[in-house]
Amino acid sequence: MRYVFFIVIILLLELFSLGAALSLQWWIAPWTKLASQTMAMIVVFLISNGLLLLSVSKLLKNSYRWVSGWMLAMHFMVLTAAIISLIYGAGWVTMTMFDSATIFAMPAISVALGLRGLALLVFIGLFVYALYSAYIPKVRHLTVTINKPLLKPLRIAVASDLHLGRLFGNKAIDRLQRLITQSQADMLLMPGDIMDDNTQAFSDYNMAANLARLCASLPYGVYATLGNHDLYGHEKPITESLRNAGVQLLNDEVLRLDYKGQPMWLVGRFDNHKRQRVATTELLAQVNTEEPVILLDHRPSDIIEHSLLPIDLQLSGHTHNGQIFPANFIVSSINRLGYGYEAIGKGHFVVSSGYGFWGIPFRLGSRSEIWLISLSGQ
* Domain termination site, one of 113, 133, 153: 133
Least confident of 10-24, 77-91, 159-173, 210-224: 77-91
pLDDT(96) > 60? no
Contact residues for 161 (Cβ-Cβ < 8 A; gap 6+): 192, 193, 227, 317, 318, 320, 352, 353, 354, 355, 356, 357, 358
* Domain termination site, one of 112, 133, 154: 133
The verdict on 211 and 338 lying in the same domain is: yes
CATH number at residue 187: 3.60.21.10
Dihedral sign computed on CA atoms, order 339, 341, 343, 346: positive
pLDDT score, position 95: 54
**CA–CA dist 178, 176 (Å, integer):** 5
**CA–CA dist 266, 256 (Å, integer):** 6
What percentage of the chain exceeds 90 in pLDDT?
74
Q: 253 forms bridges with which residues in the sheet?
A: 268
pLDDT score, position 168: 96
pLDDT(326) > 70? yes
Q: What confidence tier does 256 reach under pLDDT thresholds 50, 70, 90?
A: very high
The verdict on 126 and 21 lying in the same domain is: yes
The verdict on 221 and 329 lying in the same domain is: yes
336-368 residue pLDDT tens: 999 999 999 999 999 999 999 998 999 999 999
pLDDT score, position 237: 96
pLDDT(107) > 70? no
**CA–CA dist 269, 298 (Å, integer):** 8
**Mean pLDDT over residues 265-294, rounded?**
94
The verdict on 292 and 195 lying in the same domain is: yes
The verdict on 284 and 243 lying in the same domain is: yes
pLDDT score, position 114: 84
Query: Could you give the strand order of the β-sheet that contains 248-249, starting from the edge strand earlier in sequence?
Result: 138-145, 369-376, 154-158, 187-191, 222-225, 248-249
pLDDT score, position 97: 54
pLDDT score, position 370: 97
Higher-pLDDT residue of 317 and 276 is 317
**CA–CA dist 229, 195 (Å, integer):** 7
**CA–CA dist 198, 115 (Å, integer):** 45
DSSP 314: E
pLDDT score, position 1: 56
Q: 344 forms bridges with which residues in the sheet?
A: 347
Prediction pTM value: 0.90
pLDDT score, position 137: 97
The verdict on 272 and 183 lying in the same domain is: yes
Contact residues for 62 (Cβ-Cβ < 8 A; gap 6+): none
The verdict on 241 and 330 lying in the same domain is: yes
The verdict on 62 and 195 lying in the same domain is: no
pLDDT score, position 324: 95
pLDDT(91) > 80? no
pLDDT score, position 300: 96
Mean pLDDT rounded to a whole number for the chain: 91
**Mean pLDDT over residues 86-105, rounded?**
60
Q: Which domain holds residue 349?
A: 137-376
**Mean pLDDT over residues 134-157, rounded?**
94
168-206 residue pLDDT tens: 999 999 999 999 999 999 999 999 999 998 999 999 999
What percentage of the chain exceeds 70 in pLDDT?
94
* Number of compact structural domains in the chain: 2
The verdict on 257 and 181 lying in the same domain is: yes
76: number of Cβ within 10 Å: 22
pLDDT(90) > 90? no
The verdict on 113 and 180 lying in the same domain is: no
* Domain termination site, one of 133, 166, 187: 133
31: number of Cβ within 10 Å: 9
**Mean pLDDT over residues 90-94, rounded?**
60
The verdict on 175 and 302 lying in the same domain is: yes
The verdict on 230 and 362 lying in the same domain is: yes
Question: How long a stretch of residues is the chain?
Answer: 378
For the chain, give the longest Cα–Cα distance: 79
Query: Could you give the strand order of the β-sheet that contains 313-316, starting from the edge strand earlier in sequence?
Result: 253-259, 262-268, 293-296, 313-316, 347-351, 340-344
**CA–CA dist 252, 342 (Å, integer):** 24
